[in-house]
């Protein structure tokens, strides 16, 4: 069963722009690496033995027809050749999924290109989410080959390590002799686990001895390092060494990871291929400032840095060059022709909020932006909802499938007396078009559009309506069932839902509604009755 996949529907245009802007090299390259390069082509017969024989492998799962694979192919070859000269123990490999279908299925490959970091066949593969150009790929993999945590022994070694950093880094400070060897080992083990999972974002350093802590006090005078009695963690930004984030709360892997994910984000950053996932996987709302040129960006930079620091852990702020990313303004329900503009997107609830462009045709002032952000957190700003018009009375009476739009979606779904099956679709989706006749027949069987219907068959154009759902709409079509009298989802206020993942055939859909529905209605009997009536009508017509 194939789905059109995307990260988040409202962000698809941004992802496309990021991919194009950050891709170097010709777009008409070959997806398969140059046969003369150091990239190893793997098959099911030699895959395991190759992974076992090499301690660190980056494997690309690709399809020859994939456009993004063709962009990546030449860069992947260059990276492999570079690493072959400087770090020959790091290998780059490819698997053609159109040939090795079973191998790709074993690794859960659902889109191309998919890259995974392998550390032998016994260890679980790690998803690669680093750069997609040669130098960045090589740098990422070299970092993967190093110990996750640096443990300097001498003060000079620590100073040199800190001086070499050009990106944020984290330091674990353990009190000397910290509660015995067992507690120290536990702290180091947890720190190492977090480091392994986040080494692409930060350099991890651990210090313990009094001499090293004293050296750290000199190097980082703004850090609170007097009388350290329990593990302390410092995130330091080389471009602003006085701005140190400290963490010393109850220590566990989850809380330290959360601290890191929050603190590594700049107060006011930019979205590109390297930072895209950092922002998109954050649970925080995202504030976008679209600008025409660098001069406009600089005019608001200090304001956004101040807002970013003030609301750290509550919202992230980014700048977007409208000449490159202008189309994404449409996904935020804003006019891309009126720039500068500012909008906030709540990624968790798929809601967008924007400063009025009609009232600010020349762009919002810094004071207007500050007030808007303040009002946003006070709940005084209404979301901008994209919706098709509500269906007319004639449409409701003449259509078997109930049409949902943003303005009636929640109201209809909150009627818990009915079993409701919704098709979330896109007009351009071939699989959606193929399903349409069966969907229409399904609605006719249940008398879906009648006021007393116990089963409602509905659909919603997900590209034209902003709605929040209790399950992720991760492709088209996504069929979501809301059983009658179901439990309420605390996040959306709608019923908890079930995603239909069986064959998109009439018999299977009817059986699913009977099994999962609150009313347990047997649609096959309704279908037989309907067919009998049609047959009788045809006989009567023939007799006439």
Residues serving a catalytic function are: 66, 69, 429, 432
Prior bond to 113 cis, omega within 30? yes
Q: Please say whether the beta carbons of 60 and 76 come within 8 A.
A: yes
Q: CA distances (Å), 209 to each of 23, 45, 148, 154, 318, in order? A: 46, 51, 20, 9, 40
Alpha carbon distance 299, 363 (integer Å): 12
Q: How far is CA 443 from the centre of its chain?
A: 34
Which of 306, 225, 319, 223 shows the shortest CA–CA distance to 271?
Answer: 319
Q: Please say whether the beta carbons of 76 and 21 come within 8 A.
A: no
Q: How far is CA 500 from the centre of its chain?
A: 22
Query: Following DSSP, what letter does each residue of 17-84 receive, concatenated?
Result: HHHHHH--S-TT--SSPPTTSSPEE--TTTHHHHHHH-SEEEEEEE-TT-HHHHHHHHHHHHHHHHHH
Query: 106-140 burial, b if ≥16 CB within 10 A, otherwise e?
Result: ebebeebbbbbbbbeeeeebbebbbbbbbebbbbb
Which of 394, 366, 408, 514 shows the shortest CA–CA distance to 454?
Answer: 514
Tell which phi-psi region holds residue 538, choosing left (phi > 0), alpha (psi between -120 and 50) or beta. alpha
Alpha carbon distance 84, 435 (integer Å): 50
Residue given tokens 């603190």 in the structure block? 263
């Amino acid at each position: 069963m194939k789905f059109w996949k995307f990260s988040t529907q409202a962000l698809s245009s941004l992802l496309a722009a990021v991919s194009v802007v950050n891709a170097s090299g010709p777009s008409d390259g070959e997806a398969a690496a140059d046969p003369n390069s150091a990239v190893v082509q793997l098959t099911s017969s030699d895959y395991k033995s190759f992974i076992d024989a090499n301690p660190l492998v980056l494997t690309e799962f690709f399809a020859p027809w994939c456009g993004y694979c063709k962009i990546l192919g030449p860069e992947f070859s260059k990276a492999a050749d570079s690493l072959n000269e400087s770090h020959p123990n790091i290998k780059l490999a490819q698997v053609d999924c159109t040939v090795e279908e079973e191998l790709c299925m074993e690794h859960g490959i659902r889109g191309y290109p998919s890259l995974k970091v392998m550390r032998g066949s016994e260890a679980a593969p790690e998803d690669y989410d680093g750069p997609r150009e040669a130098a960045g790929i090589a740098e990422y993999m070299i970092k993967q080959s190093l110990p996750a945590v640096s443990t300097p022994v001498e003060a000079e070694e620590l100073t040199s390590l800190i001086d070499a950093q050009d990106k944020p880094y984290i330091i674990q400070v353990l009190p000397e002799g910290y509660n015995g060897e067992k507690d120290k080992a536990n702290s180091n083990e947890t720190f190492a686990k977090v480091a392994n999972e986040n080494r692409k974002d930060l350099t991890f350093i651990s210090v313990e001895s009094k001499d090293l802590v004293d050296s750290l006090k000199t190097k980082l005078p703004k850090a609170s390092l007097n009388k350290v009695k329990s593990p302390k963690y410092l995130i330091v930004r080389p471009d602003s060494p006085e701005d140190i984030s400290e963490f010393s709360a109850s220590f566990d892997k989850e809380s330290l990871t959360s601290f890191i994910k929050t603190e590594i984000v700049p107060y006011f950053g930019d979205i590109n291929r390297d930072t895209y996932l950092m922002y998109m996987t954050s649970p925080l709302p995202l504030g976008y400032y679209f600008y025409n040129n660098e001069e406009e960006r600089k005019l608001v930079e200090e304001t956004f840095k101040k807002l970013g620091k003030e609301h750290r852990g509550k919202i992230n702020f980014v700048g977007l060059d409208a000449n490159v990313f202008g189309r994404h303004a449409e996904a935020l329900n804003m006019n891309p022709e009126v720039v500068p503009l500012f909008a906030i997107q709540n990624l968790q609830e798929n809601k967008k909020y924007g400063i009025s462009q009609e009232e600010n045709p020349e762009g919002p002032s810094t004071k207007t932006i500050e007030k808007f952000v303040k009002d946003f957190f006070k709940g005084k700003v209404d979301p901008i909802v994209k919706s098709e018009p509500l269906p007319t009375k004639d449409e409701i009476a003449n259509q078997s499938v109930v049409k949902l739009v943003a303005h009636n979606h929640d109201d209809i779904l909150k009627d818990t007396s009915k079993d409701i099956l919704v098709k979330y679709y896109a007009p351009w989706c071939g699989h959606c078009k193929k399903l349409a006749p069966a969907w229409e027949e399904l609605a006719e069987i249940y008398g879906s559009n009648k006021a007393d219907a116990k089963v409602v068959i509905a659909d919603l154009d997900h590209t034209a309506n902003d709605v929040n759902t209790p399950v992720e709409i991760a492709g088209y079509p996504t069929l979501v069932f809301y059983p009658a009298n179901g439990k309420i989802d605390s996040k959306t206020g709608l019923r908890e839902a079930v995603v239909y993942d069986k064959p998109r055939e009439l018999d299977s859909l009817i059986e699913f509604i009977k099994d999962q529905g609150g009313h347990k209605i047997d649609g096959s009997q309704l279908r037989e009755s309907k067919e009998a009536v049609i047959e009788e009508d045809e006989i009567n017509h023939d007799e006439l």
